[in-house]
Each structure stands twice: as C-alpha cells, then as structure tokens.
Amino acid sequence: MNNALVLDFLGQLRDNNHKAWMDEHRADYQRARAAYTQLVAELLRGAARFEPDLSTLTPSDVMFRINKNDRFHQSDEPYKRHMGAGIKRGGRHSAWAGYFIALEPGGETYVGAGRWMPEPAQLARIRQEIHYNPTEFHALRQSPELLRFFPQGLDTSQTLKTAPKGYDREDPDIEWLRLKSYFVWQAIPDAQVLSPDFPQQVLGAWQAAQPFVRFLNEAMREE
C-alpha cells in the first residue's frame, strides 16, 4: 500500500488537469491507480468480514473512473481530483446503501457510508421507514459509535424546502423526512491517510456505520 504515491499524483493532477498532461503522465497515473487498487482490495477484504455480501466484489467492481461524467460535472476539468470507490452490494453503481472512500490531497480525503441521492422510489421507502420507526432511526443516527467516527452526523446539505408529499409540515421528524440523502462522511487529513493503520481506521468507521447502512437497505428493499 502506497497512499503517498496516490496523493502525490493527485496533487500534480490538480495543478495540471488537462488531457495533454495526463497523456504525458499516463504511466504515473497507472502506478498511482495500482497503489489505490491495493488499498481498495485490502478494504474489501476487511469489509467482507462484517458485510458478507461484499465478499464476491473485486476492486474493479467498486472503483470509479477518474474521468469526469459531463452530465454531473460543470467544471471544464476533464478529470476528477480524487480516486474513489463505492463498496456496496452489486458494485459502485448499484442502488444499495454502502461504504465509500475517496483519496484527495490537501485534507480532502473522505470516508463515508449510507445512500447519497437515492432514486425517488427508494427515497420514498426510506422516508416511510423513518416515519414508521422513528425510534430506531434516531437511535441509529445518534449512536455514540457512529458519532465517534462521523461527529457531524447525517449530512443535511441536500434537503427539500418543504415537507415531502404525503407528510405534515408539523411532523416531529420533518427535519429528517425532508432530507434527499441519508449519508454520513468525515474528511481525513493527509497525515492520517499516510499512517500505517489507515485501512483499520476506515474499516472501523464503516463498521460503526453498518447498522445505519443496514437500516437503509432494509427500508429500500422491495416487498
């Protein structure tokens, strides 16, 4: 595992984010991607110990491409500034909640878990589950173990301005029912990314989020 190589390459890419530079440094990119693949493989092995559904996945199933998707990125930079992976049942593009890791220099690395911007039908099922089982939901989102790794709790940056259809604006849980995503994340400083126990720290955070992830996946499951 050589996270320093990954961060160094991404730092150079940040300052030279254009195709001509990438073409000239394609071998450097391949070395950095190989190093990131080693990290993801180690994390997959560790995650499969508490999430058996992940045991059949390979790094290529979960790693995102570094090329930007023009539909979702407004910047004219052709490449992402990070290397990322979505570790969840069915691979990176599946609709299930899961676990995330993205390396980016300058303290922009993050570890996350949950479901970011689910499809409308999934979102409706999550909201319904929260409405039916608020006690369980609040216990999970306020779990001391979860908050130890994700002290800010659920990301509230994506939310409706009013109550979702079918819910009362005075509902005691309306703050949580208005969310468009059910996701926790934490930024990681470079020094921590470079520490030998970084994979264990990531796995500890994911395991702390596992009950929350399972709550979301049970909610999204179609009967």
Name the CA dihedral angle for 117, 120, 126, 130, rounded to a multiple of 10 degrees.
100
- Position 74 scores a pLDDT of 59
Joined together, the tokens standing for residue 82 give: 């990070």
Look up the domain containing 192 and give its range.
3-220
Joined together, the tokens standing for residue 187 give: 């930024």
**How many angstroms separate the CA atoms of 91 and 103, rounded?**
18
- Position 1 scores a pLDDT of 72
Mean pLDDT in runs of 10 for the chain (223 residues)? 95 96 97 98 97 95 88 73 96 95 98 96 97 97 98 96 94 97 98 97 98 97 73
User: In the chain, what is the straight-line distance between the N-terminal and C-terminal CA atoms, in Å?
Assistant: 42
- Position 111 scores a pLDDT of 98
DSSP string, 63-79: BPPSB--TTT--SS-SB
> Do the beta carbons of residue 188 and residue 111 sit within 8 Å?
yes
**How many angstroms separate the CA atoms of 134 and 139, rounded?**
8
How many domains does the chain divide into?
A: 1
- Position 70 scores a pLDDT of 55
- Position 96 scores a pLDDT of 96
- Let me know if 25 is exposed, middle or buried by CB neighbors in 10 A (0-12, 13-18, 19+): middle
CATH of the domain at 78: 3.30.930
- Position 76 scores a pLDDT of 81
Whole-prediction pTM: 0.93
- Position 24 scores a pLDDT of 97
Number of H helices, E strands in the chain: 10, 4
